[in-house]
Structure formats: structure tokens, C-alpha cells
Amino acid sequence: MWLKFSKMHGIGNDFVVVDLITQSANIRPERVAELSDRNFGIGFDQLLVVEKPTRPDVDFQYRIFNADGSEVENCGNGARCFARFVYDQNLTGKRDIRVETASGIMELHLTDDRQVMVDMGKPELTPEKIPFIADGFATEYTIDVPDVGIINLGAVSMGNPHAVIRVDDVDTAPVETWGPAVESCKEFPNRVNVGFMQIVNPHHIRLRVFERGSGETLACGTGACAAVVSGQLRGWLNQGVKVSLPGGDLFIDWDGEGAVKMTGPAERVFEGKVNL
């Protein structure tokens, strides 16, 4: 069955977005993995699916599949592309959009300058809910990772689990080796996204993220949120932080208690049809 899609990106974190409200298809993990291939498929970090809501107080259901075909709970850059897609495709005329995800309700706002602000909800810091194996909450944990050794990290869930490691320089950070080792370490039973954070000043960080199921991406919205939360908890950052990722900048605001707010762009690259 041929399915219309849009290729989009949020500061380089790229997606294929499909509308399963006016179209129908069966999402098969093995087919997602084939299409994500950048040589033999379309090429993308994640596949985003727009579906009808299952409850009356939201506008859409939002599903996310990684490049390896696994379905995940949340994606901040994807959420901005989701909002731009449903508005530009005339699936809604609203600029304030509520969507249901596997991790709960997400609120999206399209600004007048074509940016998208996402209410990412409150960060989850309780270890068993991240999930992360630890004796109790701490702002920083020390773990022994096979083939890496002893490392210090922050553990945060933004609807999906993140480990945040501080480095002196993201350009020389061991993302390619530490990323997969930490992603699959026993302390994170559902695997984990791994962020490598360089503090520029209390209102600016640089960040690279190794995403579970996708590898390193040019940007990760939930990773940016988790890094800022962890940086504030560890006393390194103030409220309101610019996060510079390889693909561009996001602005993250957290008051230390409530929801994390993320603002950034979402761009359409091209449209096409694919046999899903």
C-alpha cells in the first residue's frame, strides 16, 4: 500500500511523518528499519505517526518509532515536527495542540515566528520510574560500566530515560564508545539515551546525544531537557538555558519544580509516497 509522507527535521534530527487519520497502514518494525536506512531507504532518525485520539480531551495520538523499528515513549524534536505537520497539512487549525503519547499528554504551541514551544511535562527523577537501578534518588550517581569503567552521571526521564555525563569538550567526548556501552548497561533495564554535556556558562551548554535504537543524532529534544534538568540539579546551570547541539540550538526553561518548556524550529524538507 502506497502511503504519503513528509520528511521533516528539527535542527537536524530528522523524521518521516505519516498521517494515519486520512490514510491507513500497518506499521511493521522490520519495514521501519528498512526505510530508515540512508542508502537503501528514505533515511531518518525516527518515524512519527499521527493517529486519532483515544480520549476526548486531546487532538491527536502521537507514536514514535526509532530507526531500528522499536517504539519509544517520547521525542521532543519530533513533537515540534508533529505540531508543524498537523497544522500545515490542515489536520487542525489550532495553534495550541494537545496530543497523547505513550508517556502521557503533551501540549504544543505554534508561535508566530514558526517556532514551536513544547510543554514537556515534569521530569521524572525517581530511579525506579526512570527506570534506573539505584538505592534511592541522588543528583549524581556513580556506576561501573563494562569496557568503560567508573563514570558519574545524572539520571532523568523526560518520558524516556536519559543518562547525562559532563565532559570538558563535546568535540572530543567518547560518544562512539561510551554511548553504546552506557545505553545497554545493567543499571538501565530499558536501555537509555546518553547525553554528553559541556558547560559553557550557567545559561549555555553544548550537547551531543547517543540515542538508544538510533545512535548519535544531530539533535535530541528530550536529551536537551534532561541535560538542563540534570545540570540544574547538580548546581551547574541556572533557569533558562541555550542548548547547542550539532544541528542547531534549542532553548530550555525549567523552574526547578514544574514542567520543562522547550522552544525550537521545525522544518519540512520534502514530501513523497512510500510502500509501507
Q: Are residues 82 and 167 in the same domain?
A: no
Question: Is 109 in the same domain as 136?
Answer: no
User: What's the half-sphere exposure (Cβ side, CA atoms, 13 Å) at 1?
Assistant: 11
Indicate whether 35 and 107 sit together in one domain.
Answer: yes
Low-confidence stretches of the chain (pLDDT < 50) are none
**82 and 131 both lie in a single domain:** no
The catalytic residue positions are: 75, 220
pLDDT for 276: 77
Residues 209 and 148 in one domain: yes
The long-range contacts involving 21-25, CB below 8 angstroms and separated by at least 24 positions, are 21/50, 21/51, 21/52, 21/60, 21/91, 22/91, 25/1, 25/276
- Per residue in 16-52, pLDDT (tens digit) is 999 999 999 999 999 999 999 999 999 999 999 999 9
- What residues make up the domain containing 252? 127-258
User: What residues form the annotated binding site for substrate?
Assistant: 13, 46, 66, 76-77, 160, 193, 211-212, 221-222
Look at phi and psi of residue 252 and say left if phi exceeds 0, alpha if psi is from -120 to 50, else beta.
beta
Annotation: binding site = 13, 46, 66, 76-77, 160, 193, 211-212, 221-222
Q: What are phi and psi of 123, to 5 degrees?
A: -70, 145
